[in-house]
């Protein structure tokens, strides 16, 4: 899977490093002083790297837990995100990581215990319910068989009374979760899109059927499952495609026990949009009619409202609809 693996010298003997490396006996391993030497090199070609990315094992020193962006969250007050990984093995055309990072290499920060300690300290200090989102700079579970992220974090964070953990994913890697007992304060949130969007924009991701099947297995095992319809893309036959998606959701999953659904129309920070559009000038999505307000490129407000109103209403037309939250900046 990875021809080259870079390892920071200071964590080359870390048990997690050794365990991850043992899964890639054929890879060439190169030591480095700091992951930034490889990850932050100037003038890297994201597209070329994406075809054969390297893996980088590193230690995260600071800024491990960050306040979540304003539109994140479920009308909750204390929202934070953390990233045990940077980048993703999938290749969604709209992914903001392509605008944020110059490199397509995958970084895993192996010092999970430091992240957990920071989360615990923050929760103890705040005392109120706190949400911690993983899967902001990566897909939470896509590399779970290699990283054992879920196994390492869930046990620890579920023991903190006022902490909630959301694992956001498009993957089907739920085996480790199914081996554990379900926790009420750990939510597995599946990002779903109609098959037409997956085919054209969410390259290398699992199919809709596979994602729904993974979500169903977790529901049957008693895990709280949430859905994220974000980004919603205004494609041709929008209503038909999204109506079919909602039907498949309600047929396959236990709608009434879903933890929550969030909806958000396609949007990107302005600078990231420009970079991503330059990477794919021929991509029809980026030629849509957008507006650019508050540093964000998004559908013009009236279109965005119509998209979200229609989705919300369509979901609520089904009995036992769970709570729906909009992910918008205003
Ligand atoms: S799954 Fe998420 S993180 Fe991965 S490429 Fe797609 S949008 Fe980016």
Write the CATH number for 207: 3.80.30.30
**Please, what sign has the CA dihedral across residues 312, 313, 319, 323?**
positive
pLDDT surpassing 80 at residue 330: no
How many angstroms separate the CA atoms of 111 and 85, rounded? Answer: 11
Residues 197, 297, 231, CA angle at the centre, nearest 5°? 30
Residue closest by Cα to atom 6 of ligand 1: 92
Q: Say how many domains are in the chain.
A: 1
pLDDT surpassing 80 at residue 58: yes
Q: What share of the chain is helix, strand, coil (3-state, %, to 5)?
A: 40, 25, 40
CA of 192 to the centre of ligand 1 (A): 12
Which residue stretches of 167-299 are H helix? 175-178, 195-201, 208-221, 238-252, 270-279
Instruction: Report the pLDDT averaged over residues 2-28.
Output: 98
The model carries a pTM of 0.96
pLDDT, residue 311, reads 98
Mean of all residue pLDDT scores within the chain = 95
Atom of ligand 1 nearest to the CA of 87: 3
Residue closest by Cα to atom 8 of ligand 1: 95
pLDDT surpassing 90 at residue 289: no
Percent of the chain having pLDDT more than 90? 92
For the Cβ of 215 lying below 6 angstroms from any atom of ligand 1, the answer is no
Q: Which of 214, 240, 193, 242 is nearest to 93 (CA)?
A: 193
Q: Domain span at residue 296?
A: 4-326
How many angstroms separate the CA atoms of 219 and 253, rounded? Answer: 8
pLDDT, residue 55, reads 98
CA of 58 to the centre of ligand 1 (A): 21
Instruction: Report the pLDDT averaged over residues 33-46.
Output: 92
pLDDT surpassing 90 at residue 232: yes
pLDDT-based confidence at 284, cuts 50/70/90? very high
pLDDT, residue 328, reads 83
Instruction: Report the pLDDT averaged over residues 24-53.
Output: 94
For the Cβ of 100 lying below 6 angstroms from any atom of ligand 1, the answer is no
Strand, coil or helix: 129: coil
For the Cβ of 201 lying below 6 angstroms from any atom of ligand 1, the answer is no
For the Cβ of 97 lying below 6 angstroms from any atom of ligand 1, the answer is yes
Strand, coil or helix: 268: strand
Q: Which of 47, 50, 83, 95 to mutate to test the pocket of ligand 1 (most atoms within 8 A of CB)?
A: 95
Instruction: Report the pLDDT averaged over residues 235-263.
Output: 97
């Amino acid at each position: 899977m990875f021809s080259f693996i870079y390892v920071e010298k200071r964590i080359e003997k870390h048990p997690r490093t050794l365990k991850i490396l043992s899964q890639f006996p054929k890879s060439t391993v190169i030591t480095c002083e700091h992951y930034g030497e490889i990850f932050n090199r100037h003038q890297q070609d994201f597209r070329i790297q994406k075809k054969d990315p390297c893996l980088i094992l590193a230690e995260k020193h600071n800024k491990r837990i960050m306040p979540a962006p304003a539109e994140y969250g479920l009308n909750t007050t204390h929202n934070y995100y953390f990233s045990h990984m940077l980048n993703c093995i999938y290749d969604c055309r709209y992914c903001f990581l392509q605008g944020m990072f110059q490199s397509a290499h995958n970084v895993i920060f192996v010092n999970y215990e430091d992240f957990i300690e920071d989360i615990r300290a923050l929760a103890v200090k705040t005392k109120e319910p706190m949400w911690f989102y993983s899967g902001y700079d990566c897909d939470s579970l896509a590399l779970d068989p290699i990283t054992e992220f879920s196994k390492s974090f869930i046990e620890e964070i579920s023991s903190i009374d006022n902490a909630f953990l959301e694992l956001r994913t498009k993957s089907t890697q739920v085996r480790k979760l199914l081996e554990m007992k379900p926790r009420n304060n750990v939510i597995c949130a599946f990002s779903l899109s109609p098959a037409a969007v997956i085919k054209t924009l969410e390259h290398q991701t699992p199919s809709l059927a596979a994602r729904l099947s993974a979500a169903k297995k977790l529901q049957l095992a008693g895990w709280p499952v949430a859905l994220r319809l974000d980004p919603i893309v205004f494609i041709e036959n929008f209503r038909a495609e999204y109506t079919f998606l909602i039907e498949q959701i309600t047929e396959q999953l236990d709608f009434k026990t879903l933890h929550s659904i969030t909806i958000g129309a396609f949007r990107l920070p302005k600078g990231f949009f420009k970079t991503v559009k330059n990477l794919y000038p021929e991509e029809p999505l980026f030629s849509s009619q957008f507006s650019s307000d508050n540093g964000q490129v998004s559908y013009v407000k009236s279109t965005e409202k119509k998209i979200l109103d229609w989705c919300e209403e369509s979901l609520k037309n089904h009995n036992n609809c769970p709570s729906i939250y909009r992910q918008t900046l205003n």
